[in-house]
Amino acid sequence: LSERLGGVFDRLRSRGALTEADVRTAMREVRVALLEADVALPVARKFVDQVTEAAIGQNVLRSVTPGQQVVKIVHDALVEMLGPDTAELEIDVTPPAVVMLVGLQGSGKTTTTAKLAKLLKKQGKKAMMASLDVNRPAAQEQLEVLGTQTEVNTLPIVKGQQPVEIAKRALQSAKLQGYDVLMLDTAGRLHVDQALMDEMKAVADISKPQEILLVVDSLTGQDAVNVAQSFSEQVPLTGVILTRMDGDARGGAALSMRSVTGKPIKFAGVGEKLDAIEPFHPKRVAGRILGMGDVVSLVEKAAQSIEQEDAERMAQRLAKGKFDMNDLRSQLAQMRNMGGLGALAGMMPGMKKAQQAMANGAVDERVLLRMDAMITSMTPKERAKPELLNAKRKIRIAKGSGTTVQDVNKLLKMHQEMQTAMKKLKKMGGIKGLMAMLG
């Protein structure tokens, strides 16, 4: 994939802002990558559309190609969509907390039940497991064996009982015997079917679980969407567990699951052993889905070093008491690109206000883009010496940037405030301290 993307990206030409054509070209390859990673088609399509919109017009860092920049944007969007990354079982209730696992046959429910019970035991919780699987021969015995291995109690097997009866009995003994958590392992079918769904709903109705976790094999490809949809329509899922993440799966099912259920992916199964379970790591899985972790870290490094360069350059100019429109522009660009202000800008009175306003949503992207457009409409001389801006020049700039003279005045006022702040800073002889803080 890297090679193919590389080829495409070499042809991309945008400098400064990413053009729509370049973004679309890169996103076509990203779409293929998502499908190869088994992200369901409708999910991939929706994701690509959203990210395309967001990427157009974003700035390309100096030392990376537009294609690399797109990959980084895609990666960040993936991480956000796959999150959150702190996933715990919600069992903070009057005991016993009930945790129910549902999913297709062979997805790993029984194994995961035992893994979670073992984890809870390690955390000092008293857990009991019960198998409600009366369909598969020896399913209940399978859980009993796992219980012995993990030294977690299982509900004694009574042959001939139906799932709802077993669930009632399990709940009662968990209450009587003072268990913190009751884990309910349910039956699965090879395909979604209504009898299974009804049985599952009945069990959920009487046991009122705090957690209903959908267990999904990460190798489930395009079908993942159907599975997630059918289960979430029938019971109120609280989370997802992806199994077999130790295998070849690229993890696209994770994105499908998040997109359809909106519920957190709480854990990942990474092997057959009973301690082979981990918290779900959105960042790791995003890298795996894209298969381009190296590109992502390259762009991260580039962003860091540019931030550093800018800060150093700024500090040098500060030392001379200078702050012109070019400086203002680079600060504005930082606000847009880095998702906030650099260390330096954060310390400037004028920018601090702007930063807070940004955080409150009072200043949005468009305002920053307008300011940038105004500075672009200035001549190099005007940028270096804003005091040249008389009424006539202001009108020209407003016209050129699609703004008003009032807007230009606001920009100039902001610049002036910042310049004053700089001079004060210089007088206070704070440059050395400032440099130290920047380092």
Residues that bind Mg ion (CB under 5 A): 109-110
In the complex with Mg ion, the residue whose CB is nearer, 58 or 110, is 110
Q: Is 109 annotated as a binding residue?
A: yes
Q: Which of residues 169-228 bind ligand GDP (CB under 6 A)?
A: 188
Q: Is 107 annotated as a binding residue?
A: yes
Cα–Cα distance for residue pair 153/165, rounded to 1 Å: 19
- The verdict on 105 binding ligand GDP (CB under 6 A) reads yes
Q: Which does 31 bind (CB under 5 to 8 A by kind): ligand GDP, Mg ion, none?
A: none
In the complex with ligand GDP, the residue whose CB is nearer, 31 or 266, is 266
Q: Is 106 annotated as a binding residue?
A: yes
- The verdict on 111 binding ligand GDP (CB under 6 A) reads yes
Q: Which does 111 bind (CB under 5 to 8 A by kind): Mg ion, ligand GDP, none?
A: ligand GDP
User: What secondary structure letter does DSSP report for 388?
Assistant: G
In the complex with Mg ion, the residue whose CB is nearer, 109 or 115, is 109
Nearest distance from residue 109's CB to Mg ion, in Å? 5
3-state helix, strand, coil in the chain (%, to 5): 60, 10, 30
Q: What string of DSSP letters covers 282-323?
A: HHHHHHHHHT-HHHHHHHHHHHHHHHHHHHHHHHHHHHTT--
Q: Which does 105 bind (CB under 5 to 8 A by kind): Mg ion, ligand GDP, none?
A: ligand GDP
Three-class secondary structure of residue 13 per DSSP: coil
- The verdict on 251 binding ligand GDP (CB under 6 A) reads no
Contact predicate 252/37, CB 8 Å = yes
Q: Is 108 annotated as a binding residue?
A: yes
Contacting residue, 20, 246, 300, 307, with ligand GDP by CB under 6 A: 246
Chain centroid, CA 396 distance in Å:
43
Window contacting ligand GDP (CB under 6 A); options: 66-74, 98-106, 345-353, 377-385: 98-106
Q: Is 273 annotated as a binding residue?
A: no
In the complex with Mg ion, the residue whose CB is nearer, 104 or 295, is 104
Binding-site residue total for ligand GDP (CB under 6 A)?
18
Q: Which does 106 bind (CB under 5 to 8 A by kind): Mg ion, ligand GDP, none?
A: ligand GDP
Nearest distance from residue 103's CB to Mg ion, in Å? 9
In the complex with ligand GDP, the residue whose CB is nearer, 146 or 318, is 146
The dihedral sign for the CA sequence 210, 105, 242, 84: negative
Window contacting ligand GDP (CB under 6 A); options: 20-28, 72-80, 102-110, 382-390: 102-110
The β-bridge relationship of strands 97-102 and 181-185 is: parallel
Three-class secondary structure of residue 406 per DSSP: helix
Of 195, 234, 193, whose CA–CA distance to 214 is shortest?
234
Cα–Cα distance for residue pair 406/236, rounded to 1 Å: 54
User: What secondary structure letter does DSSP report for 17?
Assistant: B
Q: Which does 282 bind (CB under 5 to 8 A by kind): ligand GDP, Mg ion, none?
A: none
Contact predicate 226/233, CB 8 Å = no
In the complex with Mg ion, the residue whose CB is nearer, 141 or 205, is 141
Nearest distance from residue 288's CB to ligand GDP, in Å? 15
Q: Which of residues 259-318 bind ligand GDP (CB under 6 A)?
A: 269-272, 276
Nearest distance from residue 144's CB to ligand GDP, in Å? 13
Query: Is there a cis peptide before residue 66, judged by omega within 30 degrees of 0?
Result: no
- The verdict on 67 binding ligand GDP (CB under 6 A) reads no
In the complex with ligand GDP, the residue whose CB is nearer, 108 or 209, is 108
Alpha helices, H only, 12-106: 20-36, 41-55, 66-82
Window contacting ligand GDP (CB under 6 A); options: 79-87, 107-115, 149-157, 348-356: 107-115
Q: What string of DSSP letters covers 194-253?
A: HHHHHHHHHHHHHH--SEEEEEEETT--TTHHHHHHHHHHHS---EEEEE-TTSS---HH
Cα–Cα distance for residue pair 267/287, rounded to 1 Å: 17
Query: Is there a cis peptide before residue 236, judged by omega within 30 degrees of 0?
Result: no
Q: Is 188 annotated as a binding residue?
A: yes
Q: Which helix (H) or strand (E) holds 273?
A: none
Interaction site with ligand GDP (CB under 6 A) = 103, 105-111, 188, 243-244, 246-247, 269-272, 276
- Binding-site annotation: residue ranges: 103-110, 185-189, 243-246
